[in-house]
Amino acid sequence: MNKQGYQATVGNKNLNNFAILQVDFDDNCFFETYHQAFECLLKYYNSRFGDTKQKVEKRLNTQMCSINVVDYEFSGITYHTDENKTVVENSSNNSNDLELKTSKLGESRDEDCIQQYDLTKERQELLMQQQELERAKQEQQQELERAKQEKKEELERERQEQQQELERAKQEQQQELERIKNEQAQEFFKQHQDLIEQQKQLELRKQEQQNLKNTKKKSTTVKDIFNFEGGEKLTKMGAAWFVSYAYYEKIDTKHLNWDVLQSSKSKVTIYKRTTDLHNFWLQQLKSISASKLSNKIGLIPTQINKMIEEILNEEVE
23-52 confidence digits (pLDDT tens): 544 444 477 788 888 998 888 889 888 899
Per-residue pLDDT at 94: 34
Residue 156 exposed, middle or buried by CB count within 10 Å (0-12, 13-18, 19+): exposed
- Assess whether pLDDT exceeds 80 at residue 268: yes
- Assess whether pLDDT exceeds 70 at residue 174: yes
- Residue range 162-179: mean pLDDT, rounded: 91
The rounded Cα 109 to chain-centroid distance in angstroms is: 78
Per-residue pLDDT at 17: 59
- Assess whether pLDDT exceeds 80 at residue 168: yes
Rounded to the nearest integer, the mean pLDDT of the chain is 77
Residues in Cβ contact with 71 at an 8 Å cutoff, skipping those fewer than 6 apart: 2, 3, 4, 101
| Mean pLDDT lowest among 113-117, 179-183, 194-198, 260-264 | 113-117
Q: Which of 84, 72, 71 has its CA nearest to residue 110?
A: 84
Per-residue pLDDT at 139: 92
Confidence grade of residue 251 (pLDDT, cut at 50, 70, 90)? very high
| Mean pLDDT lowest among 72-86, 129-143, 200-214, 287-301 | 72-86
91-149 confidence digits (pLDDT tens): 333 333 333 333 333 344 445 545 555 566 677 788 888 888 989 999 999 999 999 99
DSSP string, 227-270: -STTHHHHHHH-HHHHHHHHHHHHT-TT--GGGGSTTHHHHHHH
DSSP classification of residue 288: S
